[in-house]
């Protein structure tokens, strides 16, 4: 399956439906601009198309961490419901793992919702380990 790096504004816009399937809070009006801002901070998107439709996509970045060294971090991995079970996410994971190796990463990391059991099966099959809990604090905007 061919994996495409999605770089142009047109490519990014084509990814909206796939990302919306994972992140339903996103809006079509702001998606492309947000992704472009994230790209300026090191974010990249890869995708697999099926008959011109982005069926599966992944967003990732490479950073260096004191804890892990040079790390490819997967922010997003998503497949449209109608295209699940065709091996697209597995193919994207293989590409990401190989890319991390090719660019000399020490590790590959991702966070996943505890309820995403089907995704967990894929991650464990690809050799990832459940190594930590992710904690967060939201709504940090200053209230006036």
Q: What is the pLDDT of residues 51-63, one digit of tens each?
A: 999 999 999 999 9
- The highest-confidence range among 69-73, 114-118, 121-125, 138-142, by mean pLDDT, is 69-73
pLDDT tens string 9-30: 999 999 999 999 999 999 999 9
Kindly tell me if the per-residue pLDDT of 131 is higher than 70.
Answer: yes
In this prediction, residue 96 has a pLDDT band, given cuts at 50, 70 and 90, of very high
For residue 95, count CB atoms less than 10 angstroms from its CB and return exposed for 0-12, middle for 13-18, buried for 19 or more.
Answer: middle
Residue-level pLDDT at 78: 95
Looking at the DSSP bridge assignments, the partners of residue 107 are 71
Compute the distance between CA of residue 51 and CA of residue 107 in angstroms, rounded to an integer. 34
Residue-level pLDDT at 132: 79
pTM summary value: 0.88
Kindly tell me if the per-residue pLDDT of 134 is higher than 80.
Answer: no
The domains located in the chain, with CATH, are 4-125 (3.40.630.30)
Q: What percent of the chain has pLDDT over 90?
A: 74
Taking each helix axis from N to C terminus, what angle separates 88-102 and 117-125, rounded to the nearest 10 degrees?
50
Kindly tell me if the per-residue pLDDT of 86 is higher than 70.
Answer: yes
In angstroms, the first-to-last Cα distance of the chain is 51
Please count the other Cβ atoms lying within 10 Å of the Cβ belonging to residue 96: 22
pLDDT tens string 97-130: 999 999 999 999 987 766 675 766 767 786 777 7
Residue-level pLDDT at 115: 66
Residue-level pLDDT at 92: 97
């Amino acid at each position: 399956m061919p994996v495409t790096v999605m770089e142009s504004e047109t490519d990014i816009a084509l990814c909206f439906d796939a990302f919306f399937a994972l992140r339903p809070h996103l809006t079509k009006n702001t998606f492309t601009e947000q992704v472009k801002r994230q790209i300026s901070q090191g974010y990249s998107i890869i995708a697999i198309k099926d008959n011109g439709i982005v069926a599966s996509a992944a967003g990732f970045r490479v950073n260096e961490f004191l804890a892990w060294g040079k790390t490819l971090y997967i922010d997003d991995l998503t497949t449209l419901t109608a295209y699940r079970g065709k091996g697209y996410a597995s193919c994207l994971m293989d590409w990401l793992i190989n890319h991390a190796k090719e660019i000399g990463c020490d590790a590959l990391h991702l966070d996943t919702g505890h309820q995403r059991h089907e995704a967990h099966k894929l991650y464990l099959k690809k050799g990832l380990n459940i190594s930590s809990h992710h904690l967060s604090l939201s709504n940090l905007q200053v209230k006036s």
